[in-house]
Amino acid sequence: MSRKYKSQRPPASVEERIFLALLKAADALGQEAEQLTRTSELTGTQYNVLRILRGAGPEGMACREIGERMITHDPDITRLLDRMEKRGLITRERQKDDRRVVKTRITPHGLELLKPLDQPMRDLHKRQFRHMAGARLKTLHDLLEETRAGKKE
């Protein structure tokens, strides 16, 4: 005779269920992307940094700016950049006009690792959302952006 476990906790609110569903969905989608980036011996975070720096162009970006554009918050961005610099993926240079600012730039080697991931990553995202109609995807995007905007207030 097995007894079912009865939770002593009240039923989850709709907000809690949404929060948990978002985290689970983000984790599932992120794990697939992480598997793809591993084929180029990159973590998802390193891939994100390289994409940010490619978009910055030859001017590069300061560490703080990179941190602000990251998809997920990394409390130790400096150490991450140290490891990437040791691998030859990025360069860092202290600015002559303001010694406090260190500009980070993507190297040709970093670009080489990033380029072959572009199309496979687009294909992955298409597959991840192929079961949803375009109008529903737009609605989902708008709702997620509204959620993020509400957090900032």
Q: Residue-wise over 6-26: b if at least 16 C-beta within 10 A, else e?
A: eeeeeeeeeeeeeeeeeeeee
3-state secondary structure of 141: helix
Asked if the structure places residue 17 within a domain, the reply is no
Asked if the structure places residue 1 within a domain, the reply is no
Asked if the structure places residue 18 within a domain, the reply is no
Domain limits at 44? 27-152
Asked if the structure places residue 16 within a domain, the reply is no
CA distance 61 to 103: 5
CA distance 25 to 130: 15
Phi, psi of 13 (to 5 degrees): -75, 165
The count of domains in the chain is 1
Of the pLDDT bands very low, low, confident and very high (cuts 50, 70, 90), residue 3 is low
Asked if the structure places residue 11 within a domain, the reply is no
pTM score: 0.83
Q: Please provide the average confidence, as pLDDT, over all residues in the chain.
A: 90
Mean per-residue pLDDT for 100-128?
Answer: 94
Asked if the structure places residue 120 within a domain, the reply is yes
CATH number at residue 73: 1.10.10.10
Percent of the residues in the chain that have a pLDDT greater than 90, as a whole number: 74
Per-residue pLDDT of 8-60, as tens digits, reads: 777 789 999 999 999 999 999 999 999 999 999 999 999 999 999 999 999 99
